[in-house]
Amino acid sequence: MKQTYSRALVTGASSGFGEQFARQLSARGTALVLVARRGDRLEKLAAELGTEIEVLPADLTDPAGLAAVEDRLRDAAKPVDLLVNNAGVGTTGPFAEMAAQSETDKVALNVTALMRLTHAALPRMIAARHGGILNVSSIASVNPVPWATTYGATKAFVTSFSENLNREVRRTGVHVTALLPGPSATPLTDEGFDNRLPHLFWQAPEAIVARGLSAVAAGKPVCITSRVLAFATVTGGRMPRALQYVIGDRLIGRG
């Protein structure tokens, strides 16, 4: 049975998938808590949406910012019954030449913040026997992505964490889903990924977000966002590893 949600907290809501999550949820009548570093962009987006909106500017790599969002998730006065962990960062290049602090910050945002926000939201959802947590991962979590070493590793954590947690809470009324999009025209792709895969692998952000919202409502532990990607992932384990590396290279524009 599919769930519906009254209030969603969306991280990374100022652009890309996060903005699209906000727009689609608002169109369904869901109240929103919008989280991102850029408060001005959140305010602009909030003015365009029709439902009850809270704007919560926060840098999730900063302890104070992360704590503020955790506190909001624990607030019983206006409970959040859908958490969309969308905030993330991805850059490419030889790992040995990347700044150590930027790689550490990548882990802090893609892994630590996601885990802590999930931990903050989950107890109240379990007590209510209702809720959803949608964690935005990547097809890079299940395919080698040389030149995006830390990014791929963080997304592998997200997929494994989500699938395992969904199994833990499956009888509590709470759904946890990992969303595995492939190439899409978002700021993340524009900034770090010069993708050279054929166009049949690409999807519009609107379609990816709609698939993710449908998947978490239905309680699916993992959602690969297209049939082409699903086929490539299922058959990928039978491919020679060297071929998987070539695909990974093309995914980030090194092939």
Q: Which residues are catalytic?
A: 151
Nearest to 73 by CA among 42, 27, 14, 115: 115
CA 41/CA 63 separation, integer angstroms: 22
CA 170/CA 44 separation, integer angstroms: 37
Residue type for position 231: F
C-beta separation of 111 from 157 below 8 A: yes
CA 171/CA 97 separation, integer angstroms: 46
String of b and e for 190-218 (b: at least 16 CB within 10 Å)?
eebbebebeeebebebeebbebbbebbbe
Q: Which 3 state secondary structure label does DSSP give 146?
A: coil
Contacts of 246 (CB under 8 A, 6+ apart): 255
